[in-house]
Chain A
Amino acid sequence: GNSVTQMEGPVTLSEEAFLTINCTYTATGYPSLFWYVQYPGEGLQLLLKATKADDKGSNKGFEATYRKETTSFHLEKGSVQVSDSAVYFCALSGFQAGTALIFGKGTTLSVSS
C-alpha cells in the first residue's frame, strides 16, 4: 500500500549545523510530495512541496528534491536556527482522487544555541 517512512527522531543539533531529515515513500502512480511543519503550540503548516519527479521545493532555507528513482524526498537545510525547532512531517497525496494526505510519523528537531 501507499506509505511514507521518515527517520525517527528526535534530532538534536547546534545552531548553524546542517540538517537532513530522510523521507522515503511507497506509492502507486505519481504522487505529490510535501513537508509540513508543526511549531510548538501551533497547527500544521506547509513548508514546501514538489508535484513531479526532479522538482525541488524550497522555502525558508529548506529544500527537498523529488527523486523518483530512489522514491525519496529528503529535507535539508544548510544552517539551522533555534527557531527551526519543531516537528517535521513528510507526506504524499495523489494516491487517490482528492487531496488526502498520507503522513510519515514525524521527526522532532531540537536546535540549541
Chain B
Amino acid sequence: KAGVTQTPRYLIKTRGQQVTLSCSPISGHRSVSWYQQTPGQGLQFLFEYFSETQRNKGNFPGRFSGRQFSNSRSEMNVSTLELGDSALYLCASSPGTLGGNEQFFGPGTRLTVL
C-alpha cells in the first residue's frame, strides 16, 4: 500500500497570504489528523477528521481550518499567514477512530512564511 502523501512538500509564502495543504491518506483509512511541528512548541495537534466530519480540534486560532472529502483526502487551510506559522505540517491517517489506533504519518509540508 502507498503511504500517506502530502503536497506540496515545500511552500514559501508571505505574511497575510493564505495557503492550502493537501493530504492523501493510506487507502482504506478514514481518519485524518493534522499536526504542526516547530522547534519551540514541538508537535501540536491541529484537528482530526473522520467521514468528512471534524471530530476533534486543538488549540489553534480560527485561521486554521480543514476539511475532508468523501474519498478521505483532506486539506488544511491557513488564512492571513503570520511569521509564527512557519512550521512542518504533518498529516497522519488511521484506519479507525479509537485512541489505541496507530497513526501513520506523511513526510510533511514545510511552510516558510516571510
Contact = CB atoms under 8 A, between A and B. Distances in A.
Interface of A: 31-32, 34, 36, 42-46, 49, 51, 89, 91, 93-106
Contact of B48 (A31, A32, A46, A99): A99
B84 interface: no
Interface of B: 31, 33, 35, 42-45, 48, 50, 55-56, 58, 90, 92, 94, 96-108
A99 B106 contact: no
If over half of B's interface residues share one DSSP class (helix, strand or loop), that class is named, otherwise mixed; here it is strand
Contact of B99 (A32, A46, A89, A105): A32
B27 to A, nearest CB: 18
Given A49-B100, A93-B100, A106-B42, A43 B90 contact: yes
B105 A44 contact: yes
Contacts of A97: 55-56, 97
B103 A99 contact: yes
B106 A100 contact: no
Given A100-B45, A102-B45, A105-B42, A49 B102 contact: yes
B42 A46 contact: no
B112 to A, nearest CB: 18
B48 A98 contact: yes
Contacts of A103: 35, 42-44
Nearest to B90: A44
Contacts of B97: 97-99
Contact of B45 (A43, A51, A101, A104): A101
B88 to A, nearest CB: 10
